[in-house]
Amino acid sequence: MEYELTRTDSGLIQVPAGLKGVAAAQTSIGSVRGSEGFYHYRQYDASALARTESVEAVWHLLLNGELPESPEVAAEFARSIGRQREVTVAAEVVDAVAVATTAPHLGLIALLPLVARNVGASIDQSPSERQQVATAIAAAVPTLLAATYRRRKGLDVIHPDPSLGHAADWIRMATGVVVSEQRARMVEAYLTSTIDHGFNASTFASRVVTSTGADFVSAICAGVGALSGPLHGGAPALALSMIEEIGDPQNTETWLKQRLDRGEKIMGFGHAVYRADDPRSTMLREVAVAHGGDLVERAVEIESRILSYLEQWKPDSKIVTNVEFYAGIVLYLAGLPADLFTSTFTVSRVIGWSAHVCEQADNNKIIRPSAIYVGPEPRGSE
């Protein structure tokens, strides 16, 4: 959809609510082509990477501009990530944060400053220094999330195993289970597919804070705050709950009509950008179907029925299945409980945030838009 450029009497450019359709910056990290059903990281098809590459390889790509040039480079980068997962916070501090916060990812706002002290303003650092800080902070996130989650449950903290891949170690630290290679790969496909996705709310929030000259931790915490909203990071659990609530796929139309009549949002469907199939959903559907089972069979049929009904309900709109619908299924089948879904998204997206913080700081200009005042005229202004 094209928007006409209009200006107010004071010369301000008027843009759509939510900045929809507005290009707010330039980036070489990646982009989303919603009308094509395509997104990419750097010069690579992102969904193709998710099918074949490790989290660490894509991490290397976002920070350095290329995939590791050899197996040796890839292995050393992965070892470096593993070593940097080994962070320590006093047990009493983790316990206090676990009790005080409502979800593990919100505990990051309290814990990250403790493991990344004195990092300094990102705009005052060299590009190589920024990359080092970026890697260290993103590597620490699953360790802190898992520790907070387990202490909330009254369970012992499980320390990192740097010999494991990032996905496998996240599952182990959070759940206490060493999963099969197949299940670790399922989570890795999800993590890799969600590392970055254009100027979404949390990524934009991180860049706005970076633009002020703030330190790296503050920028990442801004991303966490944006991610706490159910419209951004919480939908996989809600989509999985929806599938369980529907139960028999033959109940789909009745269940759906009741929700739509009440004006409720259908989790797992519709997207702000995609007008063709969401490639992340397509990839995760493949992962789910390859695993198989009753849940997957019901989900596939429920998805088909919902899409058919939505097409009749809004024939002029293209409503697609988004990433959350199959994300919840894949993560659940891999052994992660629903209350860890948003934390798992955080493990992934913090890698993208860190790349964007580096890019923003590399060529910084403070992000400072204006607002159009619509309130009553101030007294005495006439």
Give the number of other Cβ atoms within 10 Å of residue 75's Cβ.
12
Element (H, E) at 137: helix 127-152
250 with 203, same domain?
Answer: no
The CA-atom distances, in angstroms, between 130 and each of 85, 123, 134, 141, 217 are 18, 9, 6, 17, 12
pLDDT in tens, 227-261: 888 777 667 888 999 999 999 999 999 999 999 99
Q: Which two tokens stand for residue 114?
A: 């403790």
- Cα separation of 350 and 176, whole Å? 23
By residue range, what is the domain housing residue 117?
38-228+341-362
pTM, rounded to two decimals: 0.93
- Cα separation of 321 and 298, whole Å? 15
156 with 71, same domain?
Answer: yes
Residue 245 burial class via C-beta count within 10 angstroms: exposed 0-12, middle 13-18, buried 19 and up = exposed
Strand partners for 33 = 38
133 with 65, same domain?
Answer: yes
pLDDT in tens, 269-324: 988 888 888 999 999 999 999 999 999 999 999 999 999 999 999 998 889 999 99
50 with 180, same domain?
Answer: yes
| CA nearest neighbour of 331 among 342, 321, 343, 341 | 341
One pLDDT digit (tens) per residue for the chain, 382 residues: 444 567 777 778 888 888 888 898 999 999 999 989 999 999 999 999 999 999 999 999 999 999 999 999 999 999 999 999 999 899 999 999 999 998 888 899 999 999 887 788 888 899 999 999 999 999 999 999 999 999 999 999 999 999 999 999 999 999 999 999 999 999 999 999 999 999 999 999 999 999 999 999 999 999 999 988 877 766 788 899 999 999 999 999 999 999 999 999 898 998 888 888 899 999 999 999 999 999 999 999 999 999 999 999 999 888 999 999 999 999 999 999 999 999 999 999 999 999 999 999 999 999 999 988 889 988 876 6
Number of residues that make up the chain: 382
- Cα separation of 44 and 148, whole Å? 35
148 with 220, same domain?
Answer: yes
Q: Which sequence positions are flagged as catalytic?
A: 271, 324
193 with 302, same domain?
Answer: no
Do the Cβ atoms of 77 and 60 come closer than 8 Å?
yes
Q: State the Cα angle at 184 between 107 and 195, rounded to 5°.
A: 55
